[in-house]
Structure 1
Amino acid sequence: MTIWVPSLESFSGPRYRAIAQSIGAAISTGELAPGERLPPQRRLADALGVTVGTVTRGYAEAEHHGWVNARVGSGTYVRQHAPRTVFDMAWNPSDNSDIIDLSLSLPPPHPLRQQAFSDALSVISSSPAALTRGVSYLDARGSEGHRESLARWLEQLGMTLRADELLITQGGQHGISLVLSTLLRPGELIAADTLTYPGAISAAQQAHLKMVGIAFDEEGMCMDALEAQCARQPPRLIYVTPDQNNPTGVCLSEERRERLVSLARRYDIWLLEDGVQYLPVEQRGTPLYQLAPERTLFVFSTTKVLAGGLRIGVLRSPDVLLERLAAGLRAQSWMVPPLMVDIACHWVAQPAAGSLLAWQTDELAVRQQLTTQALFGYTLSGRPKSSNVWLSLPEGARAIELCERLQQQGVKVSSAEPFCVGSAPAPQAIRICIGAAADRQMLNQALTVIKQCLAQPPLATVTV
């Protein structure tokens, strides 16, 4: 009789945690079905060449994540309704309309998005030059005209980037994956905050990289911890979201940006700076690509500003890596479809793009205030004009339990598990994506449910 035996090579950290992560991956891909029994611990230990205690600890870790249930005298089973994992972060618009999904970081809905897209399609369809590009092979980096158009738009957003240092990508996630798969070899080390963007974690796993989490606090990644890691084993690349950590919203201080650059130069480390989670320029710090242009790759996208469906982004690269990255992009998809790039370039050149972004920035500021008021007395963090709020739960509360309770009440949020790097335990906290709600009324409805669920036993309550 065959049993399910995971491959642990793609997972970083201790073996027990790799076993737990492999269970989460198998559940998300359907390899392990709801209700399916996991192999007996001794049999799996023999198959993997590890101790029974390692498997026992791995199963316990998977249960802590909420992926499985242990039944005394029977075994360990996949939960019937397992929560989302790092491998299952897709938004399904056909979900039950009674569910308010605040689990994904989406820009606030606005009819201008559909209207601007429609206008761009109309213009493109009657442009002989655009139609010719749409059926032609172009440079893997994107046409010079497209890169210049996007560079002008980025300048308007306060990002000074040259067209000749850009590659056009199929969104920010593609940019991250392209960098990791092109510049790093399987088994090399990448460092990031202990809580970070799940897409970066997934991209590292797909590239068979080892990922180590670096502790961070209210000023961002702790440089003493990073320096200690460099002394033990320098990472080949550091992934960082300096202006707002995803999920907590923490901003890397200017002093630590300078020290990060110094460490990267001393140990010859690439820096991958992710700026996709947009903030207005007055809330951003000094870009790493300005502090260390010779070793910083910068990722940006239209996703959080215009529309996720465009799948158009840019990757800023040091000159020495441009050809290498272009070859990597060509090997993956030859080029980004010119039609979609034309649509994005037309869109960003219109006054409506600026109007939409101004509205979005103001709307998110209001939604942040509404959230602060609704959850007064609880520990919240996030940037004043961002789309995410991080809620640290009261003592004794469990994030998985809260997420399940909220979903039963028609609200989806994310627990900390998908954001975890390395072997550190997940904090008891949830991320609330306030931008995803259809409108303020729906956001208030969801916040009311969240507050009610927080107050229900056995979750701890707050005394204000």
Structure 2
Amino acid sequence: MTIWLPELSEQGPRYRAIVNAITQAIQRERLKPGERLPPQRRLADALGVTVGTVTRAYAEAERQGWLIARVGSGTYVRESDAPTAIFRQTLPGDDQELVDLSLSLPPPHPNRPQGLGEALGAIARDPLALGEVVAYQHEQGMTRHREVLAEWMTRLGIAIDAEELIVTQGGQHGIFLALQALAQPGERIAASMLTYPGLICAAQQLHLKTLRVPLDEEGMDVEALARLCIQQPPRLVYVTPDQNNPTGACLSETRRARLAELAREYDFWIVEDGVQYLPPEERGTPLYRLAPERTLYLFSTSKVIAGGLRIGTLRVPDTLRERLATLQRAQSWMVPPLMAEVVCRWIDSGAAERLLVWQLEEMDARQRLARDRLAAYRPSGRPHGFHLWLELPPGQRAAPLIEQLERRHVRVTSAEPFCVGSEPAPQAIRLCVSAATSRDALSRALDTLVSLLESPPAMPWRTL
């Protein structure tokens, strides 16, 4: 760790002075790429400012692209070839030629806006429903909404009882609620070494220490987790057993059973993320069936019906239900019942089922297209999953490839935002084949990617 300390001579807000000092130190090479900055409390004590001032300065310097924070490790000067943008939503009026494969979005279909209109029309014609959705409701969600969602999940092969459910504002909200209910600031949670960035961000906000667990083609290395538990037992383990995000690895049945055993042996909770929907034949035994008393299961309608409605569910053991409901009430009192009513009308009409059938067919076609074009590079993923994970050939680096793709109107994601801990990110990219506006757009993007993989961007000379 560097012993760098800034000199704060300028007037104005202290956090801004720290940001300017960091910027100048990096530009003058007093701080080198990859160097770790002093811990926030140590720097605050040395400068005579509050920890909050340093925290704000580090966050602003990270936003500007100078620094990168790693959960459980510290804050580092960003590597010069690391991409500064992690996830960026393409907005109307942006690059019209851009094929954005960086976000895990469901494939576009005209039935989504049409289904929304039909659901809203049905609600508008129902005076009883109109009265209910403008009134305060129970923090767990309206009974009828939970029953419709539970029945639909059961039809999808996710057998759930309505009494077990809490309606959430999407999967990310469910993650935050689960972490807040199960862990206190400073406590440890464990996740695969590459995991969903939303989990990493939620852990940061809640001041939790995230432990990295090795990952291979069978998913999380549960025996490595067992060894970790001996020295640093976590409060909870977050896992996406059916398809790791970003690699697509599926947790084997043997490892699922062993994980349930470890949860009981070391008394930790399991947060099972099933937001990325797969058909039953591509899923394993749910962890909430193997260890129901200590597993919370996350589900969302965002990847099937519509992300903008922000409706998901959290399956909660009896012992935690009141605590989760209290947290829900403290945060927002309840999930807006109008949004849940729209989703339930969509399901009741049969439109959600039809949309899902189309989506599975579309994802099968897109996955086949992408795997065929990228066959020489052996991408990994699930047959009906939204994304593919592509490890680059030896000697190629992700940052210049991503930069060149962006210049040619194709956007993908590096491994950086998925990394837990301080280990270097692998030279790999994630492609969300679902997000392209059409198969033709996906095909053009894949052609661009293959051409760059065959003739990789030249690496810049570095002074030795």
The equivalent position to 1:58 in structure 2, one of 64, 76, 85, is 76
**Quick one: distance in 2 between partners of 1:28 and 1:119?**
47
Counterpart check, 1:4 vs 2:53? no
Normalised by the size of structure 2, how large is the TM-score? 0.84
When residues 161 and 342 of structure 1 are mapped into structure 2, their CA distance, relative to the original with a 3 A threshold, is same
- 97-106 or 238-247, larger mean C-alpha shift: 97-106
Structure 2 unaligned segments of length 5 or more: list them. 1-8, 21-33, 41-51, 68-72, 460-464
Q: For residue 173 of structure 2, what is the aligned residue in structure 1?
A: 174
Q: For residue 145 of structure 1, what is the aligned residue in structure 2?
A: 144
Q: For residue 297 of structure 1, what is the aligned residue in structure 2?
A: 296
Structure 1 unaligned segments of length 5 or more: list them. 7-13, 39-53, 68-81
Q: For residue 225 of structure 1, what is the aligned residue in structure 2?
A: 224
When residues 89 and 19 of structure 1 are mapped into structure 2, their CA distance, relative to the original with a 3 A threshold, is farther
Q: For residue 83 of structure 1, what is the aligned residue in structure 2?
A: 85
**Quick one: distance in 2 between partners of 1:321 and 1:442?**
46
**Quick one: distance in 1 between partners of 2:398 and 2:198?**
21
1:246-325 → structure 2 map (5 Å cutoff): 246-325=245-324
Q: For residue 393 of structure 2, what is the aligned residue in structure 1?
A: 394
**Quick one: distance in 2 between partners of 1:27 and 1:304?**
36
- Root-mean-square deviation (Å): 2.6
> Is this contact kept in 2: 1:101–1:412, CA < 8 A?
yes
Counterpart check, 1:426 vs 2:431? no
> Is this contact kept in 1: 2:239–2:272, CA < 8 A?
yes
1:47-126 → structure 2 map (5 Å cutoff): 58-59=76-77, 62-63=78-79, 66=82, 82-84=84-86, 88=87, 90=89, 92-126=91-125
> Is this contact kept in 1: 2:390–2:429, CA < 8 A?
yes
Q: For residue 31 of structure 2, what is the aligned residue in structure 1?
A: none
> Is this contact kept in 1: 2:102–2:411, CA < 8 A?
yes
> Is this contact kept in 2: 1:107–1:304, CA < 8 A?
yes
> Is this contact kept in 2: 1:27–1:33, CA < 8 A?
no
**Quick one: distance in 1 between partners of 2:450 and 2:81?**
23
The equivalent position to 1:16 in structure 2, one of 16, 33, 36, is 36
Q: Cα deviation per residue 1:320-361 (whole Å; 9 max; x = unaligned)?
A: 000000000100000000100100011112222111111110
State the shift of 1:456 in Å: 2.1
> Is this contact kept in 1: 2:401–2:457, CA < 8 A?
no
> Is this contact kept in 2: 1:65–1:417, CA < 8 A?
no
**Quick one: distance in 1 between partners of 2:57 and 2:242?**
33
> Is this contact kept in 2: 1:195–1:420, CA < 8 A?
yes
**Quick one: distance in 1 between partners of 2:63 and 2:323?**
41
> Is this contact kept in 1: 2:391–2:428, CA < 8 A?
yes
**Any idea what SS the aligned residue of 1:213 has?**
strand
Q: Which runs of 4+ in 1 moved over 6 A?
A: 17-20, 25-29
When residues 33 and 434 of structure 1 are mapped into structure 2, their CA distance, relative to the original with a 3 A threshold, is closer
Normalised by the size of structure 1, how large is the TM-score? 0.84
When residues 450 and 18 of structure 1 are mapped into structure 2, their CA distance, relative to the original with a 3 A threshold, is farther
Q: Cα deviation per residue 1:348-406 (whole Å; 9 max; x = unaligned)?
A: 12222111111110111111110111112112000011110001000111111111110
Give the partner amino acid of 2:160: L
Identity %: 52
Give the partner amino acid of 1:369: R
When residues 219 and 27 of structure 1 are mapped into structure 2, their CA distance, relative to the original with a 3 A threshold, is farther
> Is this contact kept in 2: 1:398–1:459, CA < 8 A?
no
Give the partner amino acid of 2:36: Y
**Quick one: distance in 2 between partners of 1:240 and 1:146?**
27
**Quick one: distance in 2 between partners of 1:375 and 1:27?**
42
When residues 15 and 289 of structure 1 are mapped into structure 2, their CA distance, relative to the original with a 3 A threshold, is farther
Give the partner amino acid of 2:85: P
When residues 264 and 5 of structure 1 are mapped into structure 2, their CA distance, relative to the original with a 3 A threshold, is farther
- Number of corresponding residues: 414
**Quick one: distance in 1 between partners of 2:57 and 2:431?**
24
> Is this contact kept in 1: 2:18–2:57, CA < 8 A?
no
Give the partner amino acid of 2:416: E
Q: Cα deviation per residue 1:52-78 (whole Å; 9 max; x = unaligned)?
A: xx99x932xx115626xxxxxxxxxxx
When residues 435 and 19 of structure 1 are mapped into structure 2, their CA distance, relative to the original with a 3 A threshold, is farther
State the shift of 1:5 in Å: 6.2
